[in-house]
Amino acid sequence: AKQKEPEKKKKQLKVFLTLEEHAAVSVAANAKEMSIGDYMKTAVIEKAKKDSVAMIKKIQNL
């Protein structure tokens, strides 16, 4: 029998948005047929990866 992998521990991030910001995120998430939480998670991770690559390049150019 195949064993289940243990779930990774998770940390919660809270973000406070204005009503207008929340509406914009909600519309974008709906357009992608995603939940707001999944949409925000994807956006945050993509931005973090992009910023991390940029920082690594700066360090390598020292």
Q: How many domains does the chain have?
A: 1
Give yes or no for residue 5 having a pLDDT over 90. Answer: no
Q: What digits encode the pLDDT tens for the residues 8-55?
A: 999 999 999 999 999 999 999 999 999 999 999 999 999 999 999 989
pLDDT-based confidence at residue 62 (cuts at 50, 70, 90): confident
The three state secondary structure string of 1-61 is CCCCCCCCCCCCCCCCCCHHHHHHHHHHHHHCCCCHHHHHHHHHHHHHHHHHHHHHHHHHC
Residue at 27 is within a domain: no
Q: Residue 44's domain spans which residues?
A: 38-62
pLDDT-based confidence at residue 2 (cuts at 50, 70, 90): confident
Question: What pTM did the predictor assign?
Answer: 0.74
Q: What is the pLDDT of residue 26?
A: 98
Residue at 44 is within a domain: yes
